[in-house]
Structure 1
C-alpha cells in the first residue's frame, strides 16, 4: 500500500463530522479500490483539511474522489518520515501543520535541512511528530506540537526555508 495525501482548501467551513451523500460515495469508491482512510487533519478555522490514506496508489484515491464528485485541491503519494526513537503523539491543544512546496530535494539536502530545523525546534519547545514527503520530493507536510504558529514560522525564516502555510489543526479519526 502507498501513503496517499488528499489536500482540500475551501472558502466555506469544512464539516467532516456531518457526512454528506458525496462523502458516502467517496467512501464506497475508496473501498472498491482497496483504499483505507487513516486519519485527517482539519484546520481550526475549518477551511483546510489533509486526509491520509493507505491505497494501492494515488490514482485510486483520485479516481474515487472524481467518480463520487468529491472536492480536492491536490492528491499525491509519498512516504512517512518519522523521528528516530520514541514516537511523539499528537497533542491537539498545540498541534500545528507546516506545508512546503520545493524543487526536488536530495536525501543529503533533506538530512542537512532536517538536522538544522530540528535543533531550532528543540530550542523553541517544538516537537516534530512526523512528516509526509511526496515521492517526487517536492511536497512536504510536517505535523508538529508547537506552542504557537509564530514559533514555527520563526524557525523557517531563521533558516531561510520557504513555506506555503502553517496552521493549527485538530485530528479526526474514526
Structure 2
C-alpha cells in the first residue's frame, strides 16, 4: 500500500480536546477513512497548531482526498513518500 504525507493548514488552529469528545471525533475520522481504504498512521502538528503533516497509507491520492473531504479536513498537498531509515545503513 502506498504511503503519503498530507499537508494541511488550519487558519484558526487545530484544537482536539483531550476528552471523550476528542476521542470520539478522532475515532470517527478513522472510521470514515476506512470506508475509502485509507489508514491514518500518524500526524505532526506545528506549535501554533495551524499546520499538520499527516502520514497515511492508502490506495491513491484521490482516495485520501475523498476521505479528507468526508471528514471536512483541508488538504494543501498530498505527496507519495518512501521510508528512509537512518539505522538501515549501520
| Root mean square deviation of aligned Cα | 2.1
After TM superposition, the score normalised by the length of structure 1 is 0.42
Identify unmatched segments of 5+ residues in structure 2: none
| Higher share of residues assigned strand | 1
- More helix per residue: 2
Tell me whether 1:155 sits opposite 2:63 in the alignment.
Answer: no
**Which residue in 2 is equivalent to 1:83?**
none
**Greater RCO, CA 8 A, separation 6+:** 2
Structure 1 unmatched runs, 5+: 1-92
TM superposition outliers: structure 1 runs of 4+ over 3 Å? 109-113
May I ask how many residue pairs the two structures share in their alignment?
82
Distance 1:120 1:129, change over 3 A: same
134, 146, 161: which one aligns with 2:58: 146
Q: TM-score, with normalisation over the residues of structure 2?
A: 0.75
The structure with the largest alpha-carbon Rg is 1
**Equivalent residue number for residue 31 of structure 1:** none
